Structure 1
């Protein structure tokens, strides 16, 4: 799917927070296969593979997390499930002196101007993918007093929670910190828990209309296997710090995506244009925040092309 310039690396002690499903589960498997010693921290929803140490604890409970860690130390921590600055602050304290490197899985949504305060994000040139410096965690304001403990609030402020979590790690972490900002993740058939690709497959197969914005903007995607490889690379094969964008090559808009599905189903798609500001189907975006992957490429990771793997991902969903 891609090529990576891989230096020789020693086997490492790796802690994965989360890692119980989708690309996180695959990351644990890839780390283990590469010979690294892996510890998984989660609330016990799923057991990790054989040979992986399992700590069952709620990462939001600082005292319990610290007690569960005991005297363990790690070369790197990969945090798959940090959504708020409060969670980041707990992790900063719990892992101080326990790891030399910390990698957080972040998201393309940090670039969405609709989820930030007016004027907080500089508008990119239409059609030009944005670079990492558009959102600088070193200067992003943090509000730990907001109701981050409330699940509904956290879900409604997902992008802002990720931005502020990045900021806490960047400014307060006593370890080298990097964050991988993932594009929209596809692939894996039933493993793809968001159901967004399945939404399109089902509607096209049934001949139902797809709600889209007028002039929907293009965005970027990544296959779940490739994202696992990016995280493996970020954790064990390179020493960069700060944010890095992770997306396959090639911009696609919602109609491009549906065209691939239509080609495999033999059904002609129908569209319904929604009013400005109204909710449309997943991946139909009316504002520009597609990412550029130049920094990761310069650091040594070569991405695949979305056009090469997307037909297979659609076939899995079908």
Structure 2
């Protein structure tokens, strides 16, 4: 792997991936809308694209080739179809950032619990997939398009919730802040939970799986899942304050983790390939402690 294209790469673990690649003296090209500044200066190449415009990608990718493409910004089957056609066979390996949300709610989901090869869909744009169930269908359909490409080595990385001290979404921090301020948190079901992965480990996984010979869908992340009830209990212990939980949701109190059900993925396949992930309890404890101490 000498030359890579990253669709995205200017936010969160995308930036961490870029840095990992640069540290290994790999030539990196970032393709974005050009609206987000990055910190990489002249160490990266930059292309301007619009994922909803096939023509912009054809123009940007013309007469260029890469060993690997990391797709961080696809939210519809039409987008990935346009991208594959614009690349026109000039990339060998396609690493797609997918999501645990391709599964239905439930526990211990293995990769085969959603089979993209048999998924029926229509070509739609991202604007035609509203809400959480639209997001699920969009990512499922995007995987289906990619795995139908016979001339591409495709990996669909089904990420769980990504967390870190520098998480710009502040979804976990939201709960810590509410407890510290004595403000209510809107949670319809405290038993709902998720699998998680550290942002640094997400970037490391993308880097590692790109260099492997593995193809297919794969679940990275810490083993198991953690419920909102467990998260709130941990926050209460560290903050030494009781949480105020309300079932009625408002714009101000609604938990960003307030999903209708649990997403838990089985990571045995990733572990069997030699990847290692942080212990879930230790990871969440450390993050909560950090947020409390740096309030």
TM-score by length of 2: 0.89
Residues 204, 268 of structure 1: 8 Å contact kept:
yes
Instruction: Report how far residue 70 of structure 1 moved.
Output: 2.5
Instruction: Answer yes or no: is the 8 Å Cα contact 1:13–1:76 preserved in 2.
Output: yes
Contact 1:246–1:293 (Cα < 8 Å) also in 2: yes
1:14 aligns with 2:4: yes
Distance between the aligned counterparts of 1:219 and 1:152, measured in 2? 22
Pick one of 156, 173, 179 that aligns with 1:198: 173
Matched, 1:137 2:116: yes
Q: Say whether the 8 Å CA contact 1:260–1:311 is kept in structure 2.
A: yes
Indicate yes or no: 2:152 matched with 1:175. yes
CA contact (8 A) 1:16 1:40 kept: yes
Q: Give the match for residue 71 of structure 2.
A: 79
Instruction: State the Cα deviation string for residues 122-159 of structure 1 (Å, max 9, x = none).
Output: xx5xxx41101111111111211x4x252773776111
* Structure 1 residues 171 and 213: CA distance shift in structure 2, 3 A: same
- Cα distance, 1:311 vs structure 2: 2.8
Aligned to 2:29: 39
**Equivalent residues of 2:75, 2:126 under 8 A apart:** no
Are 1:218 and 2:181 counterparts?
Answer: no
State the secondary structure of the residue aligned to 2:187.
Answer: strand
- Following superposition, the deviation at residue 298 of structure 1 comes to 1.3
Deviation at residue 195 of structure 1 after TM alignment: 2.8
- Map residues 124-273 of structure 1 onto 2, 5 A cutoff: 128-144=107-123, 146=124, 148-150=125-127, 153=130, 157-172=134-149, 174-189=151-166, 192-214=167-189, 216-236=191-211, 238-273=212-247
Greater Cα offset, 227-236 or 282-291: 282-291
What is the aligned partner in structure 2 of residue 302 from structure 1? 276
The structural deviation recorded for 1:280 is: 5.9
Q: Verify: 1:30 aligned to 2:20, yes or no.
A: yes
For 1:132 and 1:289, locate their aligned partners in 2 and report how far apart those are by CA, in whole Å. Answer: 13
Structure 2 counterpart SS, 1:290 = strand
Q: Deviations over 1:265-318 (max 9, x none)?
A: 22122323459xxx9623344534311101111122122112222233224443
Distance 1:23 1:210 in 2: 27
RMSD: 2.3
- Greater mean alpha carbon deviation, residues 44-53 or residues 69-78: 44-53
Match of 2:82 among 90, 97, 101: 90
Query: In the alignment, is the contact (CA less than 8 A) between 1:253 and 1:283 conserved in 2?
Result: no
1:215 Cα shift? 5.9
Match of 2:101 among 98, 105, 109: 109
> What SS is found at the alignment partner of 1:172?
coil
Paired residues of 1:212 and 1:280 also in contact (CA < 8 A): yes
- Secondary structure of 1:19 counterpart: coil
Counterparts in 2 of 1:152 and 1:289: CA distance versus 1, 3 Å: closer
Question: Which one has more relative contact order, counting CA pairs under 8 Å at least 6 apart?
Answer: 1
Structure 1 counterpart SS, 2:264: coil
Report the Cα offset of residue 162 of structure 1: 0.6
Structure 2: gaps of 5 or more residues: none
Unaligned 5+ segments in structure 1 are 1-10, 114-123
SS in 2 for 1:40: strand
CA distance in 2, matches of 1:41, 1:151: 23
Shift of 1:258: 1.7
Aligned partners of 1:196 and 1:282 also within 8 Å: yes
